[in-house]
């Protein structure tokens, strides 16, 4: 329906009488903002005496200093029959208080203790948490830790479909690394089925919103080189490009295996800062990592500048040997690489299977 000019709603307000139409009513309101853009919002009420979304979106607009005028309001009944199920997110009074309070604070992750403190009653808070999960306002991460799905996610209960943000939010402090980070930075065309998260305490793997998340406890000296990225409106701690490569070399088993690791090194070396790469490698204090770094950059045709190669070689004790690839040698394997003190138990063609064709020193294709 169209509202006559003399009955149009003032800027920043909603006329409850004009839009409330009983249990299960849904209102779709079109707003004209000051910049001329059309803002489409939805308002819902599960009870005619409760109007949580009215307050919710009024607060949403007020916080962003958005002055708008509702120019058209249309109404659709959601329940044709009593008790008919819908997929729309609704809110009761206490649920509204929880969602608005934490959204106002800019919180993405909330704890059960926070909700208990806000409502003042543990039984009530537990019930509200269950309702918010069922209605699509919270996503369970780990015990007592939840991700808030704010009003901006829309009116329907579709859950959270940002696996990296979910995984990163499941533990604190933590960061997403290894193969998952390599995929995020575009160093591989593969899409890992498991998101790998670095933590400083032991945690069991779990499935969050259909995504398998594996937690890896690492030493304090290795817990560095990450920063916050924004992914589809969510923030997540992910290793930077240089530390991503170093972590993958340190744990090839978490990077898709030796062949996939070679592809990651080949792609990344054309995009990252080599000096930062070597600095990050030396900070890990791992001889085996330095040996693999030197070998893989040579193998992929992405050699380090001579000054950096010298820094890496000087950090490797002359008597130290390590293994890359399988546990035992097989026919056709590369074998011992004297320059880096590394036993490579893998075939050259297998390691370069995912790498574009490279020419060796003799000019023949590898």
* 3-state helix/strand/coil string of 36-102: CCEEEEEEECCECCECHHHHHHHHHHHHCCCCEEEEEEEEEECCCCCCCCCCECCCCHHHHHHHHHH
For the four alpha carbons of 130, 134, 135 and 138, in that order, the dihedral sign comes to positive
> 189 and 321: one domain?
yes
> 195 and 106: one domain?
no
d(CA 27, CA 206): 39
* CATH code for position 295: 3.30.460
Number of domains in the chain: 3
Specify if 255 maps to a domain: yes
Specify if 157 maps to a domain: no
pTM for this predicted structure? 0.72
Range name among 85-94, 112-121, 332-341 with the lowest pLDDT average: 85-94
pLDDT at 120 over 80: yes
Specify if 363 maps to a domain: no
The token pair at 91 is 């809110």
User: What's the whole-number average pLDDT of the chain?
Assistant: 79
Domain that holds residue 334: 166-351
> 44 and 123: one domain?
no
Mean pLDDT score, 97-102: 93
> 220 and 318: one domain?
yes
Mean pLDDT score, 185-199: 94
pLDDT for res 354: 84
Share of the chain above pLDDT 70, in %: 74
pLDDT at 102 over 60: yes
Specify if 286 maps to a domain: yes
> 127 and 276: one domain?
no
Specify if 64 maps to a domain: yes
Last residue of a domain, one of 77, 105, 134: 77
Three state DSSP letters for the chain? CECCHHHCCCCCCCCHHHHCCCCCEEEEEEEEECCCCEEEEEEECCECCECHHHHHHHHHHHHCCCCEEEEEEEEEECCCCCCCCCCECCCCHHHHHHHHHHHHCCCCEEEHHHHHHHHCCHHHHHHHHHHHHHHCCEEEEECCEEEECCHHHCCECCCCCCHHHHHHHCCCCEEECHHHHHHHCCCCCCCCCEEEEEECCCCCCEEECCEEEEEEECCHHHCCCEEEEEECCEEEEEECHHHHHHHHHHCHHHCCCHHHHHHHHHHHCCCCCHHHHHHHHHHCCCHHHHHHHHHHHHHCCCCCCHHHHHHHHHCCCCCCCEEEECCCCCCCCCEEECCCCEEEECCHHHHCCCCCCCECCCCCEC
Specify if 261 maps to a domain: yes
pLDDT at 168 over 90: yes
Range name among 44-48, 51-55, 273-277 with the lowest pLDDT average: 44-48
> 141 and 272: one domain?
no
Specify if 366 maps to a domain: no
Last residue of a domain, one of 30, 49, 77: 77
> 124 and 174: one domain?
no
| Between 17 and 355, the higher pLDDT residue | 355
d(CA 275, CA 267): 17
Q: What are the pLDDT digits (tens) for 129-143?
A: 999 999 999 999 988
Mean pLDDT score, 263-278: 96
Reported as a pLDDT band with limits 50, 70 and 90, residue 357 is low
> 187 and 122: one domain?
no
The token pair at 151 is 């009003």
> 118 and 10: one domain?
no
Specify if 207 maps to a domain: yes
| Between 157 and 146, the higher pLDDT residue | 146
> 114 and 206: one domain?
no
Reported as a pLDDT band with limits 50, 70 and 90, residue 42 is very low
> 347 and 202: one domain?
yes
Last residue of a domain, one of 22, 48, 77: 77
> 60 and 170: one domain?
no
d(CA 30, CA 203): 47
């Amino acid at each position: 329906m169209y509202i006559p000019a003399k009955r149009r709603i003032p800027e920043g307000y909603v006329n409850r009488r004009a839009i409330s139409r009983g249990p299960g009513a849904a209102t779709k309101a079109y707003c004209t903002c000051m910049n001329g853009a059309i803002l489409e919002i939805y308002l819902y009420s599960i009870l005619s005496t409760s109007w949580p979304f009215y307050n919710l979106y009024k607060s949403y607009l007020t916080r962003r200093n958005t002055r708008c005028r509702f120019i058209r309001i249309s109404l659709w009944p959601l329940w044709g029959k009593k008790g008919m199920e819908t997929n729309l997110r609704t809110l009761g009074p206490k649920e509204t208080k929880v969602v608005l309070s934490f959204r106002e604070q800019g919180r993405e992750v909330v704890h059960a203790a926070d909700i208990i403190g806000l409502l003042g009653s543990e039984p009530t808070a537990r019930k509200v948490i269950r309702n918010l999960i069922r209605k699509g306002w919270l996503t369970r991460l780990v015990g007592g830790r939840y991700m808030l799905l704010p009003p901006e996610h829309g009116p329907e209960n579709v859950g959270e479909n940002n696996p990296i943000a979910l995984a990163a939010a499941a533990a604190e402090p933590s960061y997403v690394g290894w193969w998952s980070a390599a995929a995020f930075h575009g160093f591989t065309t593969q899409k890992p089925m498991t998101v790998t998260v670095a933590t400083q305490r032991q945690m069991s793997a779990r499935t969050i919103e259909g995504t398998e998340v594996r937690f890896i406890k690492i030493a304090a000296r290795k817990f560095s080189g990450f920063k916050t990225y924004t992914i589809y409106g969510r923030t997540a701690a992910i290793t930077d490009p240089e530390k991503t490569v170093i972590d993958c070399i340190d744990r090839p088993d978490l990077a898709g295996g030796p062949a996939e690791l070679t592809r990651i090194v080949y792609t990344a070396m054309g995009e990252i800062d080599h000096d930062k790469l070597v600095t990050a490698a030396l900070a890990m204090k791992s001889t085996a990592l330095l040996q693999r770094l030197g070998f893989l950059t040579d193998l992929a045709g992405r050699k380090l500048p001579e000054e950096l190669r010298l820094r890496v070689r000087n950090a490797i004790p002359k008597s130290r040997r390590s293994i890359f690839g399988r546990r035992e040698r097989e026919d056709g394997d590369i074998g011992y690489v004297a320059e880096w003190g590394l036993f490579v138990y893998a075939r050259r063609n297998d390691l370069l299977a995912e790498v574009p064709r490279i020419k060796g020193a003799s000019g023949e294709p590898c």
